[in-house]
Amino acid sequence: MSDSDVSELITEETRFKIIQRIIGHPMHLLSLEELIYMTSKSAVAVRNQLEVLCDSGIIDVYRREDLAGSDGPVEFYGFTEHGVRVIDNHNYLDGLGAERALYDKTVKPEKVRQHENAPRPPLPLVVRNAFAFDDE
């Protein structure tokens, strides 16, 4: 995929918002419910664009199979190693502090807060290290 194709892929409005919200989340993994709320987009729009981002290898679905059958989320969306390289090459990681502040200051309804506090699966070490933040 050419650089211009990648730029077009990650700058489409809904995909861009998804990427920003994943960058800003303290754990860099969001449930579908969180993404729908935080992007202010419809469930259909978010699902469609998540599929595009997953198909491109930029993000992946991380699962907590041990939580299947619980009330909380089991699937979370986060960057792959390839995705981290893509967003780093496009300077998206430069906005980590601003995205975190935006995420932290957003008032969230109870259901989103429950999802926000749900246990998450681990991200690959390379991905976790890409999001090292001074206050962590």
pLDDT score for 136: 44
Number of domains into which the chain is organized? 1
Asked if the structure places residue 72 within a domain, the reply is yes
> Is 114 domain-assigned?
yes
| 116 occurs within a structural domain | yes
Q: Which segments of the chain have a pLDDT < 50?
A: 135-136
The C-alpha atoms of residue 100 and residue 133 are separated, in whole angstroms, by: 10
Alpha-carbon span 29 to 89, nearest angstrom: 20
Other Cβ atoms less than 10 A from the Cβ of 16: the count is: 15
Tokens of 4: 């211009």
Q: Residue 30 pairs with which residues in a beta bridge?
A: 77
121 neighbors 72 (Cβ within 8 angstroms): no
* Token pair of 120 as six digits: 């998450």
Say if 46 falls within a structural domain. Answer: yes
Label the pairing between strands 59-63 and 75-79. antiparallel
Examine residue 136 and state whether it is found in any structural domain, yes or no.
Answer: no
**Phi, psi at residue 104, to the nearest 5°?**
-65, -35
Q: Which two tokens stand for residue 104?
A: 């932290």
Q: Could you tell me the residue range of the domain that residue 94 belongs to?
A: 3-130
- Provide the residue count of the chain: 136
| Residue 109's CATH number | 1.10.10.10
Give the pair of three-digit tokens for residue 20: 């920003």
**For position 49, what pLDDT does the model report?**
97
Task: Tell me, yes or no, whether 55 lies in a domain.
Answer: yes
- Assigned domain for 49 exists: yes
Backbone phi, psi, residue 30, to 5°: -120, 145
